[in-house]
Amino acid sequence: MAVNRTPATLLDSVAPLPFFSLPFFLLALVTAATASVSSSVYNSTGFFSLKYRFAGQERSLSALKAHDTQRQLRILAGVDLPLGGIGRPDAVGLYYAKIGIGTPSKDYYVQVDTGSDLMWVNCIQCKECPKRSSLGIDLTLYNVEDSDSGKLVPCDNQFCLEVNGGSLPDCKANLSCPYIEIYGDGSSTAGYFMQDVVQYARVSGDLETTTANGSVIFGCGARQSGDLSSSNGEALDGILGFGKENASMISQLASSGNVKKMFAHCLDGTNGGGIFAIGHVVQPKVNTTPLVPNQPHYSVNMTGVQVDFEFLNLTRDVFEGDSRGTILDSGTTLAYLPEVIYDLLINKIISWQPNLKIHTVRDEYTCFQFSESVDDGFPNVTLHFENSLTLKVYPHDYLFPYDGLWCIGWQNSGLQPSDQRNVTLLGELVLSNKLVVYDLENQVIGWTEYNCSSSIKLQDDHSGTVHLVGSHYISSGCSLLKPGASITFVLLAVLLLILKL
């Protein structure tokens, strides 16, 4: 995980809207990056959240590693966000949702990321934003002049003051509130905050929705760099941050009374897409573990690592020595372990096939040839957490094919720079094919193995009614929907019609 630095061209290239100018204190905002709008920065530990930006069918292992290492009113029964994409490193490398913004509403495709807070979309003023995508989706640039409900967020707005930790230098009436987001893979976005209506699908019955909306403050991207710029052919309109801080969409909707601060995702690592829903999940039931307090990301306490039926010989201080806990992040692909855990785990996995010829690919990946079933030839890995919650990772999850080899997805975070060394971070390698429930009302997270091509049940806590929410796959020009998905084409067509996709 390389330390992130703001690109030099970022500060002098943010295009202003015709009726206002970006303030000169953007430089001060960049300098004070630890007070940035997003919790994607650990200002106490130097840890930057990891994003998965690669959406192509092919990519090098070095590019894969570079990505990961650099990176009330009446409460609604629930919200259903249809998903597209797939997160495996040997397939399309992200999950994305379709939302509507503005009046009249326009559609935007945004990456769903629980590792960051800020929601942003590319803005009409942006000169370096992508105009087309090889994903087979139509990209849209946000233009406030096309929306009857859109408005500028000034620098003296309470939201601006809160996310920046106080007043900004040189703030004057009618000046915009700027933002800058620097991601761990070296990409960045900068612009200004807007407020507009976001359209989403409210759960109204079994596999049925009606249109609902809420006012949300989001970033209007005026300058992008790295994989967020026009150089990236596999582009999206922006990012939908679902982190735990006040700037995130879930926090904003909850603070206005539109939803409870509870959501769940089930990322289908086999068929693509899956389930992403806001609300109280009542089926399947999941056991939970408490969130580590005072952490900007979703962090929990790991207590042990088991390989098949044998626990690794680890002392308690290995797990208790890092106050950050174990971070869960849907925007990261692989899984990162402290060196002492990593070494024991890899040695134990390889010991199951002592005749393997190990290859080190790109000086980073442990790979080998294996012609038989990996699930028969290698052990399951079970991670243990507080409250006796376990998370089982199968060989077909932690092993991925590359150039005729099988490579191990577990990574050694002990090789990272000192300020990020020995972090424990679990990405899609671990989270796919599991229902993960985030209950911020009670400060717990839970999960269970689940068929993410099926459905879950959400409860309306006001009326007590329970409704089914099904899985989705947003079709595109590079659709990865495979035979065997549980949703029939007829049902999918009906759902698309209901959701006005």
Tell me how far apart the alpha carbons of residues 393 and 155 are, in angstroms, rounded to a whole number. Answer: 46
In the chain, count H helices and then E strands.
Answer: 10, 31
501: Cβ contacts below 8 Å, ≥ 6 apart: 82, 98, 474
**Between the CA atoms of 12, 17, 20 and 26, what dihedral angle is there, to the nearest 10 degrees?**
-30
Tell me how far apart the alpha carbons of residues 134 and 301 are, in angstroms, rounded to a whole number. Answer: 40
At 499, is the secondary structure helix, strand, or coil? Answer: helix
At 232, is the secondary structure helix, strand, or coil? Answer: coil
Count the neighbouring beta carbons within 10 Å of the beta carbon of residue 283: 13
Candidate list 68, 80, 113, 268, residue with the active-site label = 113
Specify the residue for token string 């990505």.
67
- Determine whether 170 is an active site residue: no
Tell me how far apart the alpha carbons of residues 1 and 69 are, in angstroms, rounded to a whole number. Answer: 4
- Determine whether 113 is an active site residue: yes
Tell me how far apart the alpha carbons of residues 335 and 394 are, in angstroms, rounded to a whole number. Answer: 13
Specify the residue for token string 């006040």.
246
Task: Find, among 57, 52, 36, the residue nearest to 112 by Cα.
Answer: 52
101: Cβ contacts below 8 Å, ≥ 6 apart: 108, 121, 142, 147, 196, 197, 198, 199, 218
DSSP of 383-433: EEEGGGEEEEE-HHHHEEEETTEEEE-EEEGGGS-GGGTT-EEE-HHHHTT
Tell me how far apart the alpha carbons of residues 33 and 54 are, in angstroms, rounded to a whole number. Answer: 25
Candidate list 80, 117, 237, 329, residue with the active-site label = 329
Tell me how far apart the alpha carbons of residues 141 and 106 are, in angstroms, rounded to a whole number. Answer: 10
Positive or negative, the CA dihedral 324, 328, 330, 336 is: positive
Q: Are 179 and 118 in contact (CB under 8 A)?
A: yes
Tell me how far apart the alpha carbons of residues 209 and 278 are, in angstroms, rounded to a whole number. Answer: 13
Q: Are 131 and 230 in contact (CB under 8 A)?
A: yes
Tell me how far apart the alpha carbons of residues 451 and 252 are, in angstroms, rounded to a whole number. Answer: 30
Task: Find, among 311, 319, 324, 298, the residue nearest to 431 by Cα.
Answer: 298
316: Cβ contacts below 8 Å, ≥ 6 apart: none
| Active site amino acids | 113, 329
